[in-house]
Structure 1
Amino acid sequence: MTVTIATDIIFSVIVPVYNSRGTIEACIDSIRTQHFQDFELIIVDDGSTDNCTDQFAGSTDLIVLTKDNQGPGSARNCGARIARGDYLFFIDSDDLAPRWALSCFAEALARGDRPAIICGNFVEFFDVAPTLEYCPPDIVEYQDYLEAAAAGLYAAGGMVAVRRDIFIEAGGFDEAMKVAEDHDLMLRLGEQPGFMHIVAPPTYAKRDHPGSISKSLLLAFYGCKALLAQWQSGRYGISARARTITRGMVGIHLRAAILALGRNHMPRRSMELYLRSFALNARIGRLRFLLGAPVIIGLGLISARGQR
C-alpha cells in the first residue's frame, strides 16, 4: 500500500513520556515499523525518573527532548514547537500504532482538501497487544469536527492528526489541564474546516491499565470543571450551532464525572460539579439526570461516612 503526497515531511509523530520503562519500547517500535515512512519521530521525556528514554540515546531516526515534569499537554506542546511535519500525530507512550496507521491518515489526506483534522478509530487492550487486521480504509468526510460530533463521533488523544498551523494558531494544549486536555483542544478546533474520519481499519491501540492518568477521578473533576469554564467563556465557539453542539458534548463529560464521583465516595466534589452544571444540563433537557443524580450523590455521602 503506497500513498504519495508532494511535501517535505507529512507527519510529526510526538510521544510524551513519563516513567514508561515497561511500555515505551513497544510504542516506539510500532511507529518505526509504519508502512508509511514520511514522518519524523519526536519523544518528549516529561521529567521521568526511571531513565526510560536512555535506550534511545544516539538514535538517528528520532529526536529525544527532555524537560521538567509539567504534564502531558506541556510535553506535547514542547514537541510541537520543533515539529516540521504538516500534521501532528500524538501517541501516548503506553499505546501502539498499527503498521498501517500513518498510511490510512495519508490516504485521507489524498482524498481531502487539507482538512484541519484527521480522525482514526481505536481498540482497547490490557496486557497483551491485540491482533488487528487491515482492510482498505473506509473514510467519511465532514464539514468540521462539530458536524461529526453532532452525529455521535468523539475524537481525542491518539485518534487524531491535527494540521500543525491550526494547532499552533489555537495555542496547542491547555497545559493547566492534566485530564481532558485533548477533548478541550478538539472543542476549540471544532469549527475549523475539514474533518476526515477513518471508520476502519483501527489506527490506534489504547492500553487500559489502573495507573493511567485518565483513571484519576480527582483529575477528572478538575478537567470537567475546566471544560465547563471554557464552554461558559465562549472558547468553544459563539455561533448558535457551536454553542448547541458543544453544550451537549461538555454535558456528557460532566454527567459521567458527576456519577462516577458520587458512586466512588467523593460526594462533595460530585455535588460541586452538579451545581456548577445545573443550568447547562437543564438547557439540554436532562431532567431525569438532574432528579436522579442527587440521590446517587446522597447515597455516596452516606457510604463515605460509614467508612470513617
Structure 2
Amino acid sequence: MVSVLPDVSVVIPAYNSDRTLRACLSAVFAQTHPPVEVIVVDDASTDQTREVARRFPVTLLGTPVNRGPAAARNRGIQASRGEVIFFVDADCAPSPDAVAAALRVLTETPDVDCVHGIYLTEPLYDDGPIEAYRLLHAHYWRMRNTGRVRTAIFALCAVRRSVFDDVGVFDENLRASEDVELSDRIAARHGIWLSPEVTCRHDDDSRLWPMLRKQFGRSQLLVPVAVRERGPAGLRANRPAGVLATAVAVATLPLAALTPVLLALPVLAVAGFALADPGLAGFVRRERGLAFLCFFLAVHFLVHLAIVGGAAIGGLRFLVDRDFGPSRELAVGAGR
C-alpha cells in the first residue's frame, strides 16, 4: 500500500535578503515534492526583498518593525495550512530533493517529528576564504552528529504542525539561539533527526569582523539558554576542549607580564586548541590543503575568542537582568 505524504508548507523568514532570495525561491519551487504553499515573511526589510518575493507565486507577509527570525517564523506558522512546515532561511537554496528526503524520515522513522539538514561545502555564492571557513566548519560538525539528536537548526528544517500545538512556538524574546531553546522543548516530547540527505547551499558570512561581531552577540545567549535547558545538552558546533583551551589562553596571557617564562602557558593553551578537534583538522586538510588548514585554524581561534568573550558578557547580563535570555513562560499552541 502506497502511503500518502503530508502536505508541506514552506516558510521563509527574510530580512534584507534581496541578494539571495531569488536563488532560495527558485530552489524551493524546483523541489521534487512540491509544497502546497510558500510563505515569505518579510521582517521589515529596507532593501528589495519584497519586490523579489513578488516575482514568485508566494504568500507574502510582513512585520511592521524588525523583530527577528523567531517572530517571522511564528507569523509563518500561524498563516500556514500544511501538516508539515518546512523552514528555509532566505540565504539557503535547498537541494531539489530536500523536502522529499525530510518527508521520508518523518514517515519512516518512529517518533521523529522534526528533521533538519546540512549545509553543503559549496556556497550559494563564492565570496572568498572566510565563507569557505564557515561552510567547511558548518558542514563538518553537522555531519559528525547525523542521526537522532536533541537540537534542530531551523535554517533547513521540517516539523509537523502538531509539534507546535504541543510545545508552543519560537520564543520571540530571543534574536539568537531561538532554535536551540525551542529544540529543548521539542526534544522533551518528540524525536529530532539530523539528516545528511536534507541539504542546501548557503550564503554564509564572508567578512572577518562582521562574522566575529555576530558570533560575539550570539554567544551572549549561551549561558542563559544552557541554564534553562530541561535535559542533556544538545548539539555543539565546537569541541568543549577547544573552548576551554581558548579561555585558558586568555586567562594566562597577562601572567607573561610577570616573567617571559609564563608566556609558555598561553602558548601551550593555543597548541591545545589546535589539537582539540583532529577530525575537523583532517577534514579541512583533505578538502582544501595544508595552507588553508593553517588559515582555518587561525580564524577558528578568533571565533573561539568571540565565543568566550560573548559567553562571559552574557553570563554577567543573565545575573543582573531577569529579562535577558529565554522567556520564563511561553504560551502553548501555534494556532492557525
TM-score of Structure 1 vs Structure 2, range by shorter chain: 0.5 to 0.7
Q: Deviations over 1:120-162 (max 9, x none)?
A: 33324442499xxxxxxxxx997xx5xx35xxxx531224211
Query: Is residue 173 from structure 1 mapped to residue 170 from structure 2 by the alignment?
Result: yes
| CA deviation string 1:191-244 (max 9, x = no partner) | 223344433x3522222224788961342233213313422xxxx2xxxxx3xx
Does residue 5 (structure 1) correspond to residue 4 (structure 2)? The answer is: yes
What do the CA deviations read for 1:31-67 (whole angstroms, capped 9, x no partner)? Answer: 01111114321000000011322233375x3200011
Q: Report the Cα distance in structure 2 between the residues aligned to 1:123 and 1:29, rounded to whole angstroms.
A: 17
Give 3-state SS (helix, strand or coil) of 1:121's partner. strand
Amino acid at match of 1:190: A
Q: Is 1:45 matched with 2:42?
A: yes
Task: Return closer, same or farther for 1:220/1:112 CA change in 2, 3 Å cut-off.
Answer: same
In structure 1, what is the Cα distance between the partners aligned to 2:71 and 2:226? 21
Q: Which position in structure 2 is the counterpart of 1:221?
A: 219
Q: Is the 8 A contact 1:18 1:48 kept in 2?
A: yes
Q: Using the TM superposition, give the Cα deviation of residue 82 of structure 1 relative to its aligned residue in structure 2, in angstroms.
A: 1.0
| Cα 1:29/1:193, change in 2 over 3 Å | same
Q: Secondary structure at the match of 1:203?
A: strand
CA contact (8 A) 1:33 1:99 kept: yes
Cα shift at 1:73:
0.8
Aligned to 1:64: 60
196 and 214 in structure 1: CA distance in 2 versus 1, 3 angstrom threshold: farther
Answer 1 or 2: higher relative contact order, Cα 8 Å, separation at least 6. 2
The equivalent of 1:157 in structure 2 is 154
Aligned mates of 1:107, 1:80 — CA distance in 2:
22
Letter in 1 for 2:116: C
Contact kept in structure 2, 1:262 and 1:270, CA below 8 Å: no
Distance 1:114 1:209, change over 3 A: same
- After superposing the two structures, state which structure 1 stretch, 112-121 or 185-194, moved more: 112-121
Contact 2:102–2:198 at 8 Å: present in 1 too?
Answer: no
Give the TM-score normalised by structure 1: 0.65
Following superposition, the deviation at residue 255 of structure 1 comes to 7.8
Q: Are residues 1:107 and 2:104 paired? A: yes
Task: Tell me the distance in 2 between the aligned counterparts of 1:265 and 1:155.
Answer: 20
- Output the TM-score relative to the length of structure 2: 0.60
Name the counterpart of 1:289.
none
CA 1:54–1:31 in structure 2 vs 1: closer, same or farther (change >3 Å)?
same
- Counterparts of 1:263-278 in structure 2, within 5 Å, are 263-264=305-306, 267=309, 269-272=310-313
The alpha-carbon deviation at position 112 of structure 1 amounts to 3.3
- Matched to 1:246, the amino acid is A
- Cα 1:168/1:222, change in 2 over 3 Å: farther
Report the CA distance between 1:98 and its aligned residue: 0.5
Change (3 A) 1:270 1:79: closer
> Which of the residues 246, 249, 252 maps onto 2:233?
246
Stretch moving more, 215-224 or 74-83: 215-224
Offset at 1:84?
Answer: 0.8
The answer to whether the 8 Å contact 1:12/1:84 transfers is: yes
- Structure 2 residue corresponding to 1:183, chosen from 180, 183, 186: 180
Number of aligned residue pairs: 242
Equivalent position of 1:207 in the other structure: 203
Instruction: After superposing the two structures, state which structure 1 stretch, 248-257 or 67-76, moved more.
Output: 248-257
The DSSP-based 3-state class of the residue aligned with 2:233 is: helix
The residue identity in structure 1 corresponding to 2:305 is R
2:91 corresponds, among 91, 94, 114, to: 94
Contact 2:106–2:114 (8 Å) recurs in 1: no
* Unmatched runs of 5 consecutive residues or more in structure 2: 133-144, 248-301, 319-336
